[in-house]
Each structure stands twice: as C-alpha cells, then as structure tokens.
Amino acid sequence: MVKLLLSRNDVNPDKPNNKVETPLWCASYKGHEAVVGLLLTRNDVDPDKSRNDGGTPLWCASCQGHEGVVKLLLARNDVNPNQPDTDGATPLWRASWDGHEGVVRLLLERDEVNPDRPNNKDETPLWCASYNGHEGVVNLLLARNDVNPNEPHKDGATTLWRASFHGHEKLVKLLLERNDINPDKSNNKAETPLWCASYQGHEGVVKLLLARNDVDPDKQRKDGRTPLWCASCNGHEGVVELLLARNNVNPNKPDTHGETPLWCASSAGHEGVVKLLLARNDVNPDKPNKKVETPLWCASSAGHEGVVKLLLARNGVDPDKPNKKAETPLWCASSKGHEAVVKLLLARGDVNPDKPNYKLETPLWCASYNGREGVVKLLLARSDVDPEKPRNDGRTPLWCASHKQHKGVVKLLKERCQSRRTKKRWLNTALACFCQRA
C-alpha cells in the first residue's frame, strides 16, 4: 500500500499530522523496517525531522528498541544521532533508560555520539540505566573511557548511589569492581550508598558495601541519622544484624532530636530490632530524646505491647519516667486507651497509677476524658487511685466524663465514688463509736 501511494505524484511523503509526526516518524516508532526503507529512498523525505517534542525518527526507534530501523537511519549522513528531544534526552539516553542493549551498542559505535550527555535534569545515560537496573547497558557504557561513573546527579546521587538505593546487587557489584568509583560518596543530604541501602533494607547491597575498607558504616546524614538508625527505624532486622556485627558502629548514637536506634525501633514497634539492640551491653535502654521521652514512653504511647514487655524486662528501665510535660508511660497509654500496655505497667510495683501531668491530670482523669472505658476499669480496680482527684481547674474525672457524654465511664465512676463515700462514712461511724466507748 505504501509503495503504491509513493508511486503517485500527488502524494506528499513527508506530510506530518497535527503532532508533527511524519509517515517516516510513525513507521520508525512502530518498527516497520520495510516502510522505513521505502521512505528513506525518497529525496523529498527528511529523515531527521522532529516531532513537536523534539523527538526524531531515530529518537523514537531507539526509545522502542527497533534495532533494524535504527540501523537504517544511522546509515544516513543526514541523521544526527546525538539530537535530543525538548527534555534533553538523546537517542542513546532513551535507549539506556529503557534497557535496549542492541540499540545502545549501535549508537555507541558512532564517534559523534556523546555517551555521557545528560538530559535537562542532569541525568546521564549511565545514571538512568543504573536507576532501572539495566545491567547489560551499564556494562556497555562502563566499557567507554569517556563515561564518568562517578558523575553525580544534581541531587548529588552517583550511579552507585542510585543502584544501591534501588537494590540492584549485580550493578553494585559491577561498579564496586572499578578503581575509579568512590563507594562512600554521599548525595546532597549526606546520604551515602550504604545509608540508602540500609534505609531501603537491601541486605545484599549492604553486605557488598560493608566488605569495603573505604566505606564508613557509621556515617551520619545531616540530621545525625546513621545507617543503623534508619535500618532500625524501618524494621530491617537483617541489615541491623549486619551493622551491629561491626566494631565501628555505635548502636547508641542519636540523631539531632536525641532519638537513638532503639528509641526509633521502639516507637515504630519493631520487636525484632528491639530484641537485637537490647542484646547489646552498650545500648542504653532508657535513653530519652530531647523531649525526655524514653523508648518505653514512646512504645507505651503507641501501644506496642510486645516492645513494652521487652523493655520492662530490663533492669535499667524506669517504668515511671515522665517526659517534659510530666506525662508518664502509664499516663500516655491510659490517655490513648492501650489496655494491654496499661495492664503491664500496673503490674509493676514501681509505677504510680495516680501520678498526674503538669496540669494535674491523672491517668484516670485523661482516660475518663477520652472515654477509655476499659482503662478506667483497670485504674478504678486500684486502691491507690483517687477517683475524685481534680485537674488544676477543679474538674474531676466524673465531671469531664459527664461533659463528654461517656455514659459507660460515668457509670463506673459514680459506682466507685459512691462506694468510696459509703466506706468513708462507715469508717467515720466506727471511729465515733470507738471514741464514745473509750
């Protein structure tokens, strides 16, 4: 059909559509070699005419991995193999991004192709091939002397950094075999390849990087967070084990907020990581952050029962330690209705169940205010809890439960207060009778 149409004198073989896509452009995009061959025989067809986004026939054929079409176009002297689109992406860049090894090989054979030319976002062909884990393309590019494997992106991330972040083990191994690779080069946030691999939980990559003598396993980000800190925070037990096996990793190092790896793991409820850290003698299990919130405090506040159990089993943990607002672990657990945690804390002899915060709100007061009926029952079962203890504005637990219309809590408090008053009257009567007899 194309051959038939081209035989006519009234057919324009280079007429584009509304997107400025010519017949040659479309045939190249679809990989129709025979049609491309026919169109390229015409003198009135521009083989390098770009679409409205700057993409040429060679660009789109490279993008789609059509090797045969790429060969035909590269055979022309009037085709620029280095012509970028409006985003700055050359045919080589596009082929590298999509992992088309055959096309990359063809383009790299051309002397005028710049193998290290970045797009408008400062991403080189090697960078994007590493980003997507295209091992074969990376091999081809690294074989070139004019490709800099250490060239960073505008955010400071190198090829190795990106491969580490995405967990491409084979690529990381390949890059680490080079003498011109800095395995500890950080991005603009001071995150090293090891840091980001630890953050993502890529154990294989972490192993490869830790095998190097020129990698600092305890290097902090700008906010003070180490590879161990971020692995602990995200619950990556395997990575935590690998890092703890190193003598040059401080398991107690806090970030700029004063939060240690144990603090963060406790806050997030990562029991396995907490176990690993508590097994160390050099970990302070009660070290608070800058707000004076301990690991137990934040685990209690979040309702992480398993973590609370692990921390309470340690001798160096104060179960009644308040934060800056005088809120204890029991206070927080009571306020948020974490019944299982409240039970664990009340089972301790060194926890004051009636200890108020800076506003004189007791655990019972805040549980009543928030309608935590189960917690209220647990607290009212204690003889050392005053059910009528007011806040600094004089409002009692019963007042606030009534105000918030927590009917179940109101009922429990009324029963307890009535029983308390009856008992008090009985004691007063008994005391009066004793005095009379005396």
pLDDT tens string 80-119: 999 999 999 999 999 999 999 999 999 999 999 999 999 9
pLDDT digits (tens, 9 = 90+) for 350-361: 999 999 999 999
Q: Would you say 131 and 167 are in contact if contact means Cβ atoms under 8 Å apart?
A: no
Question: Does residue 5 register a pLDDT over 70?
Answer: no
Question: Does residue 428 register a pLDDT over 60?
Answer: no
User: C-alpha distances in angstroms, 267 versus 130, 212, 274, 314, 336?
Assistant: 34, 32, 10, 17, 15
Q: What integer pLDDT is reported at residue 301 of this predicted model?
A: 97
Query: Average per-residue pLDDT in the chain?
Result: 92
Domains 1-108+126-138 and 226-245+254-318 belong to one CATH topology: yes
Mean pLDDT for 124-151 is 92
Measured between alpha carbons, how far is 135 from 123 in angstroms, rounded to an integer? 17
Q: How confident is the model at residue 431 (pLDDT cuts 50, 70, 90)?
A: very low
Mean pLDDT for 268-293 is 96
Question: Among 10-24, 51-65, 203-217, 326-340, where is mean pLDDT lowest?
Answer: 10-24
Does domain 320-418 correspond to CATH entry 1.25.40.20? yes
User: How is domain 226-245+254-318 classified at the CATH fold level?
Assistant: 1.25.40
Q: Would you say 22 and 49 are in contact if contact means Cβ atoms under 8 Å apart?
A: yes
- The CA radius of gyration of the chain, in Å to the nearest whole number, is 35
For the chain, the domains span 1-108+126-138, 226-245+254-318, 320-418
Q: How confident is the model at residue 429 (pLDDT cuts 50, 70, 90)?
A: very low
Q: What is the pTM of this model?
A: 0.85
Q: Would you say 340 and 305 are in contact if contact means Cβ atoms under 8 Å apart?
A: yes
Mean pLDDT for 305-324 is 96
pLDDT digits (tens, 9 = 90+) for 197-222: 999 999 999 999 999 999 999 999 99
CATH architecture designation of domain 1-108+126-138: Alpha Horseshoe (1.25)
List the end-to-end C-alpha distance of the chain, in Å, as a whole number: 126
Question: Does residue 290 register a pLDDT over 80?
Answer: yes
Q: How confident is the model at residue 3 (pLDDT cuts 50, 70, 90)?
A: low
